[in-house]
Amino acid sequence: MNSRIKLFPVASEINKAGHLVIGGCDTLDLAVKYGTPLYVLDELTIRKQCREFKNEFGKRYPDTTVVYAGKAFLNGAMAALLKEEAIGLDVVSGGELFIAESAGFPMDMVYFHGNNKSAEEIKTALSRHVGRFVVDGMDDLARLTSMAEESGHIPDILLRITPGIEAHTHSHIATGGAGSKFGFPLYMAEEAVSRAMAAPSVNLVGLHFHVGSLIAEVNPYLESIDLILEMAAEMKYKYGFELEEFNIGGGYGVAYTLEDRVPEISYFAEKITSGIVAKCGQLKLALPGLVIEPGRAIVARSGVALYKAGNIKDVAGPLRYVSVDGGMADNIRPALYDSKYEAVLAGKMNDKDTDAVTIAGRFCESGDILVKNIKLPPVKGADVIAIPVCGAYCIPMSSNYNASLKAPIVMLADGHDRLVRRRETYQDLTRCDSL
Ligand SMILES: Cc1ncc(COP(=O)(O)O)c(C=O)c1O
């Protein structure tokens, strides 16, 4: 048995021929049908994760709303699936809002975030009556209050507070520390609450924080919860502020490699909900509605990147490079965050891992290495290499570097494959240009 199979989507198996099968579809057939590089998403995994967050938090804390962070991956098919699962959507741009609206996603379930929302974006979001604005700073608050006044619609808002908690994650994805560009620093929270409460054009319903992404321990959440609830209690005492909604952001970690140790969703749910109940009891605060915003933990495991091996090169080291037909243009994470991945040969799942290789991308950067020094069965040109846990922050961060074509996305379920984004063409590369 190939131990790496457990990193793949829930509906993954190895067939008699030793091929990787996902959602009932043979990945070698998919690579032939759609070409490579190819991103496949297993629908069952996404639905399972949505339901697990809902159930695990909801059974402990009934007034829980799960809001998916669209930055992890969003397109029309994903928005439609979220709508079916009755999950909210966190958007950070007019573009994400447009995708959601085009897919018929209910606007009252949208949370509009962003540390620099443009006037145009605010205007559109106000006109769509989005569910919540998450306000990120004094300028954001001032712009929103005056634009809301002009629009005549009173939006429900949350204030994003930066708790000053340093989470143990890569510095690029830590957002809760004192120097973060996001949110109101805790020392400004009082000013923000009093200004928002005094503004008749907005309705302050609660507070938000997000400590960062890929968090594998519960303490940053618990410490932030305590700090922000203490601040809320003080605001209640001073200004009569009622915390109706408490949004604790996303960031729940996922395992990318066999070595990664990440708590179960049930563990996060147990510790977080009991932490909120205990602290509210101690501070004599009514229990607020709880909102969680997982992105990565809903979609990461559902996604698999399929590449074709090309040139193989032995260099001093000794080091064997296997170059593939994708790389940093479709998955920037290894170059950006030094992220680690596993890989398999999709057609040789039962063969022994005997050869150490480094999987290199095809782009013109030495840093374009997808997986360093991994043991695989002997690789031959044209073998299909599958990298698991590619559902989050790969496609949304993809680029056309070296004028490459963005990969197609195929949704898999019950043995059916459905193209939800076609491969770009050369014509797409020049579509926006003029001579
Ligand atoms: C405000 C907010 N909520 C939720 C998320 C989702 O984080 P993750 O995908 O790690 O769950 C992010 C990610 O940056 C965020 O900034």
Left if phi > 0, otherwise alpha if psi is -120 to 50, otherwise beta: which for 373? left
Q: Which helix (H) or strand (E) holds 30?
A: helix 27-34
Q: What is the rounded average pLDDT of the residues 413-424?
A: 98
Assess whether 339 and 365 both reside in one domain: yes
Assess whether 265 and 311 both reside in one domain: no
Mutate to test the pocket of ligand 1, among 182, 221, 293 (most ligand atoms within 8 A of CB): 293
pLDDT of residue 174: 64
Protein residue with its CA nearest to atom 13 in ligand 1? 213
Assess whether 240 and 312 both reside in one domain: no
Enter the pTM of the model.
0.97
pLDDT of residue 161: 97
pLDDT of residue 171: 67
The alpha helices in 37-75, defined as continuous H runs, are: 43-58
Type of residue numbered 427: Q
pLDDT of residue 166: 75
Assess whether 269 and 340 both reside in one domain: no
Q: What is the rounded average pLDDT of the residues 160-186?
A: 80
pLDDT over 90 for what percent of the chain?
95
* 11 found inside a domain: yes
Assess whether 360 and 255 both reside in one domain: no
* 81 found inside a domain: no
Residues with CB under 6 A from ligand 1: 69, 71-72, 90, 113, 175, 210, 213-214, 249-252, 293-297
Supply the CATH number for residue 311's domain. 2.40.37.10
Supply the CATH number for residue 223's domain. 3.20.20.10
Which atom in ligand 1 lies closest to the alpha carbon of residue 297? 11
Distance 254 CA to ligand 1 centre (A): 13
Distance 210 CA to ligand 1 centre (A): 7
Assess whether 272 and 367 both reside in one domain: no
Q: What is the mean pLDDT of the chain?
A: 96
**9 preceded by cis ω (within 30°)?**
no
Q: What is the rounded average pLDDT of the residues 256-274?
A: 97
Which atom in ligand 1 lies closest to the alpha carbon of residue 294? 11
Assess whether 331 and 346 both reside in one domain: yes
| 162 φ, ψ (degrees, to nearest 5) | -95, 110
Protein residue with its CA nearest to atom 4 in ligand 1? 250
CB 408 within 8 A of CB 320: no
Assess whether 176 and 150 both reside in one domain: yes
Mutate to test the pocket of ligand 1, among 66, 71, 132 (most ligand atoms within 8 A of CB): 71
CA-based torsion, 183, 187, 191, 194: positive or negative: positive
Q: Which band of pLDDT confidence, cut at 50, 70 and 90, is reported for residue 169?
A: low
Distance 167 CA to ligand 1 centre (A): 13
* 335 found inside a domain: yes
Q: Which domain holds residue 160?
A: 113-294
Q: Which residue has the tokens 């990461």?
A: 300
Q: Which band of pLDDT confidence, cut at 50, 70 and 90, is reported for residue 11?
A: confident
* 235 found inside a domain: yes
Residue 172 predicted with pLDDT over 80: no
Distance 391 CA to ligand 1 centre (A): 14
Assess whether 330 and 239 both reside in one domain: no
* 50 found inside a domain: no
Q: Which band of pLDDT confidence, cut at 50, 70 and 90, is reported for residue 179?
A: confident
Q: Which band of pLDDT confidence, cut at 50, 70 and 90, is reported for residue 167?
A: confident
Residue 173 predicted with pLDDT over 80: no
Assess whether 333 and 237 both reside in one domain: no
Which atom in ligand 1 lies closest to the alpha carbon of residue 214? 10
CB 324 within 8 A of CB 308: yes
> Which tens digit of pLDDT belongs to each residue from 283-342?
999 999 999 999 999 999 999 999 999 999 999 988 999 999 999 999 999 999 999 999
Distance 18 CA to ligand 1 centre (A): 37
User: Of 294, 314, 346, at which residue does a domain stop?
Assistant: 294
Catalytic residues: 364
* 55 found inside a domain: no
User: Of 276, 294, 312, at which residue does a domain stop?
Assistant: 294
* 58 found inside a domain: no
The Cα-based distances of 425 to 331, 395, 407 in angstroms read 19, 17, 10
Instruction: State the Cα–Cα distance between residues 61 and 366, nearest whole angstrom.
Output: 49
Assess whether 194 and 328 both reside in one domain: no
Which atom in ligand 1 lies closest to the alpha carbon of residue 160? 1
User: Of 294, 321, 341, at which residue does a domain stop?
Assistant: 294
Assess whether 117 and 161 both reside in one domain: yes
* 282 found inside a domain: yes
Domains: count for the chain: 2
> Which tens digit of pLDDT belongs to each residue from 394-417?
999 999 999 999 999 999 999 999
Residue 267 predicted with pLDDT over 70: yes
